[in-house]
Amino acid sequence: MIHPTAIIDPSAVLDSSVEVGPYAIIGKQVRVGTGTTIGAHAIIGDWTSIGENNRIFPQSSVGAPPQDLKYKGEECWTRIGSGNMVREFATIHRGTVTGNGETVVGNGNLFMAYSHVAHDCIIGNNVVMANVATLAGHVTVEDNVILGGLVAVHQFSTIGTHAMIGGGTMVGLDVLPYCIATNGKRDAKLRGLNLIGLKRRGFSDEAVSNLKKAYKALFMANLKTEEAIARIKAEINGCAEVDYLLGFIERSRRGFCRG
């Protein structure tokens, strides 16, 4: 059902099952998949692709132009997967030609009220951004991450899979997978592994034990990072989670938060 007060650009393509509430605005070249609902007064900006069974709540904004002074109206996209929930006043901006040309959101994510995803961000699957959590441009958030309320993440940072960031934390560096980070004196500080989260998500006892050994080598053994990595590789073999952790460290360009 499309409310008669909604404004929809003629170039937009909506599945017949899509619901659009009163006074919603849908821009040009928008595509919306099966079962998605768009609430009252929501705005879907130009060049936005939205998958199936998403819930876009009233007053939210998806696909608006980026807050980047270099952006001059070029065709850039916002691509939203399926099963996402975008709550009231949350904002997700499209990409830029000086970035990826698109902002990408995966599946099953929850963007609580007033959260913000800036241009050229990449969001994985099953991510939770609590109220007023904010991503600057070019941020990558991997799968199963939880960002507490009022978290702010610096440009070009990466938040590793299964990480949890405590409310009010200012993040200026990458955050390692499987870890918890909260505010430190200068930047976010690791507080250990996200043990409760890992248990809830079914990680094996062996995997958790290996991650504990790796964490101790990295932050509690008075070793340089290169030395810690060498020790971990020598002592822990065949653990996919530890391998991913080490690969994340080796790929990091900004540097990563420490304990």
Tell me the per-residue pLDDT of 92-150, one tens digit each, with 9 for 90 and over.
999 999 999 999 999 999 999 999 999 999 999 999 999 999 999 999 999 999 999 99
The mean pLDDT value for 33-57 works out to 98
Residue 93 has phi, psi (to 5 degrees) of: -100, 150
Helix H segments across the chain? Answer: 195-200, 205-219, 225-235, 240-251
Per-residue confidence band for 259, with pLDDT thresholds at 50, 70 and 90: confident
Q: Is residue 186 pLDDT above 90, yes or no?
A: no
The reported pLDDT for the residue numbered 88 is: 98
The set of catalytic residues is: 119-120, 137
Which numeric CATH code is attached to 7-138?
2.160.10.10
Beta bridge partners of 102: 77
Q: Kindly state the percentage of the chain with pLDDT values over 70.
A: 100
Predicted pLDDT at 204: 98
In contact, 193 and 211? CB cutoff 8 Å: yes
Q: Could you report how far apart the first and last alpha carbons of the chain are, in Å?
A: 52
Separation of alpha carbons 136 and 154, rounded Å: 6
Confirm if 208 and 214 have CB atoms less than 8 A apart.
Answer: no
Handedness of CA 201, 207, 211, 212 (dihedral sign): positive
Question: Tens of pLDDT along 207-217?
Answer: 999 999 999 99
Q: To 10 degrees, the CA torsion angle through 24, 29, 30, 34?
A: 130
Query: What confidence tens digit (pLDDT) does each residue in 156-170 have?
Result: 999 999 999 999 999
Q: Where in the chain is the domain with CATH 1.20.1180.10?
A: 198-251
Residues of each domain in the chain carrying CATH 2.160.10.10? 7-138
To the question of domain 198-251 being in CATH 1.20.1180.10, the answer is: yes
Query: Is the Cα torsion angle 57, 165, 138, 160 positive or negative in sign?
Result: negative
